[in-house]
Amino acid sequence: MQGQLPLEGMPRRLYSGTPSRLNAWLDCRRRYRFSYLDRPQPAKGPAWAHNSVGASVHNALAGWWREPYERRTPLTAAILVTNGWITEGFKDEEQSERWLARARDLVSGYVATLDPSDEPVGVERTVATRTKVIALSGRIDRLDRRGDELVVVDYKTGRRPLTQDDARSSLALAVYAIAASTVMRTPCRTVELHHLPTGEIVEWRHTDESLARHLRRAEEVATEAGAADDRYKELVAAPRGTRRGSGEPPPDVPAEIDELFAPTPGPICSWCDFRRHCPQGLAAGPERRPWDGLAE
């Protein structure tokens, strides 16, 4: 089974994934396995407060654009944040309330800079594209029309200031632009990061060549990850019956899986949802409290 090729004349199965899945492979193959292959999935750690803030803000901004034109006001934005506030991960109720107030200010201040009549082409819009290697899909925070072209808008709420390189090098944003062009049949080369804490908008305008480079990179990652996925399935399935009904894999199988999906220890391990299941991750950095990602 290992290294088995498709039958002659039969198309190779496409790797189906999202930018998040591809980036998980690039960041840490063990986390990729825990996230997308192991079933049942290993238990995650507690929710992160900074993720709760980000999700609450994104949901409120999406909801704001779905309101009738006359209700697209900063006050409506603040109400949407309050009504949809996610409380997971905070130290206590006082910290949650303090960040709710910050998030209301962030979102209401941001929408005050928008033209409520400038209707987006899409909000939380799912787009997709495929090549001979990969079937990609993803959801765009906002898709604008500027003249004869589309623009991908991605909201950011993290504490780290953004640079133009963040927009230029983002595989996800490039994939979104390619997929938006495919789905909407309209050119899309510009991607924007809207950093709500600072009010900065970081823009990058891709060329056809730079988009093609990102797509080739996605195909390369998909080829690597797809081969590992297939081998994982073989290793999990093959042992059944080989030990006379024991249902247990031979002792070398877990070792090969661990080697195939080796971890990438580093500072990011402190923030990994699956840290408790990874000895290398536990040793790579200190444990973080669920609210440590907040910029107090």
Judgement on whether residues 37 and 100 belong to the same structural domain of the protein: no
Write down which residue in 178, 206, 234 finishes a domain: 206
Judgement on whether residues 127 and 149 belong to the same structural domain of the protein: yes
Q: Which percentage of the chain shows pLDDT scores above 90? A: 86
Displacement of CA 247 from its chain's centroid (Å): 35
The average pLDDT across 153-171 equals 95
Judgement on whether residues 129 and 185 belong to the same structural domain of the protein: yes
* Domain-embedded: residue 116: no
Judgement on whether residues 182 and 162 belong to the same structural domain of the protein: yes
Judgement on whether residues 191 and 217 belong to the same structural domain of the protein: no
Judgement on whether residues 268 and 217 belong to the same structural domain of the protein: yes
Which residues, including other chains, have CB under 8 Å from residue 38's CB and lie 6 or more apart? none
Judgement on whether residues 245 and 274 belong to the same structural domain of the protein: yes
Which residues, including other chains, have CB under 8 Å from residue 65's CB and lie 6 or more apart? 72, 119, 120, 123, 142
* Domain-embedded: residue 239: yes
* Domain-embedded: residue 158: yes
Q: Are 261 and 32 in contact (CB under 8 A)?
A: yes
For 210-268, the pLDDT digits (tens) are 999 999 999 999 999 999 999 999 998 875 544 444 445 555 668 899 999 999 999 99
Judgement on whether residues 225 and 259 belong to the same structural domain of the protein: yes
Please, which pLDDT band fits residue 204 given cuts at 50, 70 and 90? very high
* Domain-embedded: residue 60: yes
Judgement on whether residues 38 and 54 belong to the same structural domain of the protein: no
Q: Which percentage of the chain shows pLDDT scores above 70? A: 91
Q: What is the CATH number of the domain that holds 184?
A: 3.90.320.10
* Domain-embedded: residue 278: yes
Please, which pLDDT band fits residue 197 given cuts at 50, 70 and 90? very high
* Domain carrying residue 68: 49-111
In three-state secondary structure terms, 225 is: helix
Residue of 116, 176, 175, 121 whose CA lies nearest to 148: 121
Identity of residue 294: L
* Domain-embedded: residue 36: yes
Judgement on whether residues 95 and 155 belong to the same structural domain of the protein: no
The whole-model pTM stands at: 0.89
Which residues, including other chains, have CB under 8 Å from residue 270's CB and lie 6 or more apart? 284, 285, 286, 287, 288
Please say if the pLDDT value at position 272 is more than 70.
yes
Please, which pLDDT band fits residue 281 given cuts at 50, 70 and 90? very high
pLDDT number for residue 10? 53
Please, which pLDDT band fits residue 12 given cuts at 50, 70 and 90? low
H runs (alpha helix) in 206-289: 208-237, 252-260, 279-284
Write down which residue in 206, 230, 262 finishes a domain: 206
Write down which residue in 206, 241, 274 finishes a domain: 206
* Domain-embedded: residue 136: yes
**Number of domains the chain contains:** 3
* Domain-embedded: residue 8: no
User: In a 10 Å sphere around its CB, with 0-12 CB exposed, 13-18 middle and 19+ buried, how is residue 40 labelled?
Assistant: exposed
CA triplet 41, 42, 45: central angle to 5 degrees?
Answer: 125
Judgement on whether residues 38 and 53 belong to the same structural domain of the protein: no
**Is the pLDDT higher at 236 or at 113?**
113
